[in-house]
Amino acid sequence: KAGQLNLLNDPFRFRPQSVNPTDSDGNPARVAEDIRAGRLGNLFNGVGAESGREIQRIAVEESRLKIPLLFAADIIHGLFTVFPVPLAEASSWDVDLAYRTARAAAVEGAASAIHQTYAPMVDVGRDQRWGRVVEGAGEDVLLNTLMAVARTRGFQGQRGLADPQALLATPKHIAAYGAAEAGLDYNTVDISEATLKGVYLPPFKAAFEAGALSTMSAFNDINGVPATGNEWLLTDLLRGEWGFEGFVVSDYTSEQELIAHGFAADGRDAARIALLAGVDMSMVSGLYLEHIPDLVASGDVPMAVVDRAVRRVLSVKAALGLFDDPYRGTSVERERREVGTAEHYALAREAGRRSVVMLKNDGGLLPLPKSGRRIALIGPFGPSLDVFGPWTIWGDESKRVSLEQGFREAMVDPSLLTVIEGSGVEAPVDGGIEAAVAAAQAADIVVLAIGESQGMSAEAQSRADIVVPPPQQALAEAVVATGKPVVVLLRNGRALELSGAVRDAEAILVTWFLGSEMGRSVADLVFGDHAPDGRLPVSFPQLSGQQPFYYSRKTTGRPASSRDEGYKAQFREAGHTPLYPFGHGLTYGEVHYGAPSVGGGGVLPWDGALEVSVQVTNTGRRAASEVVQLYIRDRVATM
Ligand code: BGC
């Protein structure tokens, strides 16, 4: 039974670049022996049909009870074909797009003998210092909730979990991981019940209602009690109130970390606390396997609690159809057919386009002409293949499209393109600025590709100052000083503070990390084959020090509209507004809103509905698609 609750890294199928051969559990022979002996029921982060079948064969032919293994992986935004990072995709505000990319990722994962993905990440991200904002849908509860549902449905498909192309979804990390104090990863979460239930939990609840049958317990504590040892959260609320019937997996050694939290005395105590709280499966630490027999023998954990956890894990294995076909129809031929298809790459390009947000376009500088103009593409991200973003362990690196490549393919005469890095991401390069200025002077238009590397917005990558790194800012200042028109292409995994020459450039596109087809998606927009229509899922602040910053702040007793200039809720240096608000985004069309009309009349009952309509007109010469947004609040309420 303890073996069924034990989950280790897959030492058989890791790709060379991701394997750490010194991992304590990274010994294939020992792991195979554990499977045979029933000490291991689950593996994660290995892919591949052929080897997957072979490992599964050990379990179902050579172990005593022949219980199939569960294979999981972090398939966050694509497997071999890489789609935009979730924060980027949320900028599309398009749940159907999110469904389709999750579906494609699931098809690739299932073909590679994976059963469960550790996604979607549904943590609301209101503090842009937190490096994992990039994995979610941003600051808003509704957008996070809709995306959580779309991605869950996309991973699991519509034919039931037993369908061989379905992946079990794992909304994570329950709960309030994004509320870490100061945006510092893994930090303490001190939160009111109202904020927990009103902001951080709704995306989880919605994902479970959409059918997700597993979830991952967070690293952080909540009001002093670590999530992974939190019986109120994982049992009373999750199972009791919400009726969740799936299993909870700990995050990477999070049950062992109960010791560091000062919540458990030692490994045995940590296993006891986590198990009793409602964590069914232990990731990596091995503590469940080591201690469950003794915990039961001594009476510290009732056998019924172990049975409960095992039943949950086995039920999900059954729901996945593993007891009918432990191989779920995988084969080398199927894998070849279903992975990295032309259709998936076309979807990646489309999703990339839909994920870009145009912050400004003064004088209609964009789109650029495909011919007749000399373009200088300046900045570390012009030639860079750093297009995937975080959490792409298996992305096909041979199929990454840089901005440079995308531009060359789009331009009628690619010899009019000059590409100069001018700076590293976080360090200057010798003579870089001089070369960039010379290139700018010789060009008609400058495109500045600057921002964060994919390593800068990721797990354990909190930033105190969410700016464009200083060497790139210096590059931007020098290039803009040439007086040439400048388009900024921002690469980023969070909202950034934009200042000086970057903020003041004529045109700015937020391009995030768009995945495999990034260069082509951006070129499609820059050269006008398509129009940008993304909207910000996070507010861009004026200054880093405004964080946490989000539009749905509660009103204070001294709001911005207060009459007394000296006494209101604002910063001396930044006032109370963002530089670009949540929901902002321009297009090439000219979209106008008429006056809204509100249906009905009188008092709206508590459970009543109100229809608001508005005429939206595009008077420009280019097609446009518009996300119509309506913001409401209670003007007077008990809370
Ligand atoms: C992350 C999880 C991830 C897990 C397994 C942890 O460090 O917090 O999001 O699923 O590793 O790779």
Nearest protein CA to atom 12 of ligand 1, as residue: 74
Cβ(251) – ligand 1 distance below 6 Å: yes
With beta carbons less than 8 A apart as the criterion, state whether 136 and 85 touch: no
**What does residue 503 show for φ and ψ, rounded to 5 degrees?**
-60, -35
Tell the residue nearest (CA) to atom 8 of ligand 1.
Answer: 251
Q: Which of 120, 82, 134, 178 is nearest to 458 (CA)?
A: 134
Would you say the CB of residue 135 lies under 6 angstroms from ligand 1? no
Q: Residue 606: exposed, middle, or buried by beta-carbon count in 10 A (0-12, 13-18, 19+)? A: exposed
44 pLDDT band, cuts 50/70/90, is very high
Report which protein residue has its CA nearest ligand 1's atom 10.
Answer: 118
Q: What pLDDT sits at residue 22? A: 43
| pLDDT (mean) for 492-516 | 98
Q: Is the pTM of this model over 0.85?
A: yes
Position 333, amino acid: E
Rg, the chain, Cα only: 26
pLDDT at 564 over 80: no
Instruction: Report the pLDDT value the prediction gives residue 24, as an integer from 0 to 100.
Output: 44
Query: What's the residue count for the chain?
Result: 639
Alpha-helical segments (H) within 548-622: none
- Quote the CA–CA distance of 625 and 604 in Å, as a whole number: 32
Tokens found for residue 265: 């005395």
So what's the pLDDT on residue 16?
Answer: 42
CA atoms within 13 A on the CB side of 198: 9
Model confidence at 561, in pLDDT bands (50, 70, 90)?
A: confident
Q: What is the DSSP string of 497-517?
A: B--HHHHHSSEEEE-----TT
The Cα 558–Cα 568 span in angstroms is 5
The three state secondary structure string of 1-29 is: CCHHHEEEECCCCCCCCCCCCCCCCCCHH
Beta carbons of 101 and 145 less than 8 angstroms apart: no
Atom of ligand 1 nearest to the CA of 173: 9
How would residue 482 be classed by pLDDT, with cut points 50, 70 and 90?
A: very high
Nearest CA to ligand 1 atom 2: 251
> For residue 118, which atom of ligand 1 is closest to its CA?
10
Fill in the amino acid letter for 187.
N
Q: What is the residue with the minimal CA distance to atom 4 of ligand 1?
A: 252
- Cα distance between residue 215 and residue 517, in whole Å: 31
CB of 118 shorter than 6 A to ligand 1: yes
* Residue for token pair 């992986």: 73
Q: Which residue of the set 74, 123, 127, 251 is catalytic? A: 251
How large is the greatest C-alpha to C-alpha distance in the chain, in angstroms?
81
* Residue 123 Cβ < 6 Å to ligand 1: no
Lowest mean pLDDT among 39-43, 235-239, 400-404, 556-560: 556-560
Q: Whose CA is nearest to atom 7 of ligand 1?
A: 252
For residues 486 and 556, the model is more confident at 486
Which are the contacts of 274, defined by CB distance < 8 A and separation ≥ 6? Answer: 217, 228, 229, 250, 255, 258, 282, 287
Q: How far apart are CA 130 and CA 216, in angstroms?
A: 19
CA of 445 to the centre of ligand 1 (A): 43
| pLDDT greater than 60 at residue 477 | yes
Residue to probe by mutation, ligand 1, list 42, 122, 252, most atoms within 8 Å of CB: 252
Q: Is the pLDDT of residue 25 over 70?
A: no
Centroid of ligand 1 to alpha carbon of 27 (angstroms): 20
Q: Is the CB of 459 under 6 A from ligand 1?
A: yes
Q: How far is the CA of 492 from the CAs of 4, 328, 497, 548, in angstroms?
A: 40, 38, 11, 18
For the record, the structure tokens of 33 come out as: 């022996």
* pLDDT for res 575: 87
Token duo for residue 396: 């096909």
Is the distance from the beta carbon of residue 300 to the nearest atom of ligand 1 less than 6 Å? no
Centre of ligand 1 to C-alpha 162, Å, is: 25
| Atom from ligand 1 closest to the CA of residue 121 | 9
CA distance 212 to 208: 5
**Is 252 close to ligand 1, i.e. is its CB under 6 Å away?**
yes
Q: Could you tell me if the CB of 186 is within 6 A of ligand 1? A: no
Whether 10 is a known active-site residue: answer no
Candidate of 15, 43, 74 to mutate for ligand 1, largest count of ligand atoms within 8 Å of Cβ? 74
* Both structure tokens of 610: 């109100």
| Dist. CA 173 → ligand 1 center (Å) | 9
pLDDT in tens, 337-368: 999 999 999 999 999 999 999 999 999 999 99
Residue 600 DSSP class: S
